[in-house]
Amino acid sequence: MIDLEELYALDPGLREHEAELLKLLARLEKAKPVVKADQAFVASLRRELLNKEVPAHHPFINYLLMPKPYLIGGGVLAVLLVALVAVTQMQGPGAPLAPAPGGALDGRVIALGPGAFGSLSAASLSADRAEAGALPPMAGGDLSVPSGSARPQSGGGGLMASENAKIGLIYPEPFQSYTLVYDGEAYELPAGEMDVYRRLKNVSGMAALGRAVAGAPNGVLNLSRLGALNLANFTVTTGGRDGYSVNIDLREARAYIGPNYEDGYIEDAYDRTYSLSDVPSDDRLVASARAFLSRFGVDVSAYGTPVVDRNWERFYIMERGRGNDAYVPPVINVTFPYLVGGETVTDQGGLPYGIGVGVRISDLRAVSAHNIAPQSFERSAYAVETDWNRVKRIAERGGLYGFWYGSPEGGTIRLGAPELVYMFMHHYDEAARQGMELYVPALRFELIDPPGDAVYGPRYVFVPLVKDILDAYDRGPDEMPPGIPRPLPVDLPVTMELKDESAE
C-alpha cells in the first residue's frame, strides 16, 4: 500500500484528492502490467555465461593499452604493444607497480658503496630553497642574494643592509622576525653514517619505442629521417566522457591518471561550496582511493599508512572561529607514502610524499592519481652530523629553507620535538647531467602555534642530517642567506592625479 504522505511530499496538490485516491489505489494494484522474459531465453543465456571463464584482470598499463580494433590501425597497434613491453620492463620483468611481495623493500633496493651519488653539496641543491617557496617574493625586486651577504638588521626598516644584496623594496617600519626556539631535550643523533636513497628510473624501452614511433605513419612528417629516436613521454586515453587519460613519462619512470577532458569529462565538483559536514570520514576517502588504484593494478600494500590531506582544516577552523566563511576543498588528496629505510618519505613541506589520489567529497569518486612510480631504489651511506648543537642552531634559524615571517612586535615560536624522517629532495648532478630523486634522512621540527600571518607559512622546519647538505646550506653563523622581511600592508601612497591638459 502506498504511503500517501510520501506521495504528497512529491506532489502536495494531490492531498485534496485523498478520498478518490484511496479508492483507486487498490484497483491499480491489480492493474499492474507484467512483462516477463522468455524463460527458455533466460536459461540459455545463463548456461552460456556460466560456461565462460571470467576474463583475467589486466594491470592498468595493459588495460589502457588494450587495442580496440575499431579504433586502432596496425601501425599504431605496434607502437602500443611495444610501449606495453617497455613499460613492464620499467619495473622489472613481470613486476607490478609495487615493491616486492611480502612488503620487503630489500629486494628492490640495490646497495651501493658509500658516497655513490657524489657530493650532495652541489650548488644546485640551493635551488630547492626557491622551489620550496621559502623566500617570499619581493615586489618589484629580485630574489637573488649571493652567499656571504651579511644578515640585515631586522626591525630597523629602511633599505636592506647587505651591500651585495639587490634592493627590492623599502619596507615599512617596524618589522621583527619571529624567533624560533627549541627548548626540548636533545635528540640523540645517529653516529657515523646513514643511508641516502635514490629512486631508480630504470626505463629500458625508450629506444625500442622510438623505433616503433618512427615506423608508424602519422600523416605529418617522416620521423624515420631523424635517425635514432627515443620516446620520452606518451599519453593514452580511453574513450568517452567517463574515460581516462594516462600519461607515462618514461624519462622519470612515472605515470599520471586523470579524467579524459578531451572527450567531454566535466569536473562539476567545484560548482558548489561545501561545509564540514560534507566531508566523508578518512576511512571512506582512503577506501575510495585504494579501490581506484586497485582498479588499475597499482599495488600499494607495501606503502606507508595512507594519509588524508587535512591541512586545509586548520584554516577552516581558524576562519570559522573568526566568523568568516571558510573553504572546504571539493577534492581531497589521499597519499600513499613511499617508505624507505622503514621511514615515511615527506616532501619539502613536511607532508607525506608518495602516490596521491584525488577523491571528490561529493560522491567519493576518485578522479585522478599522480606520482605513480616504481619503488626501486639504490642506497648509499653518507656521513651525518653528530653535533646536536649545530643541528639545533640550524633549526632555530629556520632549517633548510629558512623561516621568514614576522610582525611589528616580533615574537617567539616554539619548535616541537624533532622526529626522524626521510625527506624528498631533487638533486641535479651537473657532471653526469642527470636529475636525481633523493630521499635523505632529516630531523623535522613542527612549529607550535605560529601567530599571525605565520600560520600560513611552513608548518615544519627541516634539518637534513647529511653533512654534505648541511655544509652547503650553513656556511657559518653569518653566512646563512639573510632574512627578507615580508612587506606588511600599508596605507596606499598618495598619488597625484594626472592633469587633463586637453581641458586647458
Partner 1 sequence: MDELELIRKVQAGDSAGFGPLYDAHIETVYRFIWYKVRHKETAEDLTSLAMTRAFERIRSFDPEKGAFKGWLMRIARNAIIDHWRSRRDHADIDDMRDLASSSDVERDAESARLLDEVRDAMKQLSEDQRDIVMMRVWEGLSYKEIAEALGKSEDACKMAFSRAARRLRELVPLAAYLLLINRAL
Binding site for partner 1 (CB under 8 A): 2-3, 6-7, 10-11, 13-14, 17, 20-21, 24-25, 28-38, 41-42, 45-46, 49-55, 57, 241-242, 287-288, 291-292, 295, 362-365
* C-alpha span between 458 and 448 (Å, rounded): 11
DSSP summary character for residue 413 = E
Please tell me whether residue 502 adopts helix, strand or coil conformation: helix
Q: Interhelix angle for 74-90 vs 206-215, to 10°?
A: 180
CA distances from 218 to 44, 213, 221, 480 (A): 46, 9, 7, 54
* C-alpha span between 462 and 120 (Å, rounded): 16
Nearer to partner 1, 31 or 221 (CB): 31
Nearer to partner 1, 186 or 291 (CB): 291
Q: Which of 373, 365, 362 is nearest to 336 (CA)?
A: 373
Question: What are the grid coordinates assigned to 429, written together?
Answer: 648532478
CA distances from 126 to 9, 394, 427, 461, 466 (A): 65, 15, 9, 16, 15
CB of 264 to partner 1, least distance (A): 12
Contact 240, 263 (CB under 8 A): yes
CB of 282 to partner 1, least distance (A): 14
Strands of the 244-249 sheet, one edge to the other: 233-237, 244-249, 254-259, 366-372, 354-360, 331-337, 307-308
CB of 21 to partner 1, least distance (A): 7
Nearer to partner 1, 300 or 438 (CB): 300
CB of 19 to partner 1, least distance (A): 12
CB of 69 to partner 1, least distance (A): 15
Contact 385, 187 (CB under 8 A): no
Nearer to partner 1, 50 or 494 (CB): 50
CB of 33 to partner 1, least distance (A): 4
Nearer to partner 1, 367 or 440 (CB): 367
Contact 422, 437 (CB under 8 A): no
Nearer to partner 1, 10 or 494 (CB): 10
CB of 16 to partner 1, least distance (A): 11
Q: Which of 191, 204, 369 is nearest to 288 (CA)?
A: 369
Nearer to partner 1, 261 or 315 (CB): 261
Backbone angles phi, psi at 102, to 5 degrees: 85, 0
Nearer to partner 1, 107 or 264 (CB): 264
CB of 164 to partner 1, least distance (A): 58
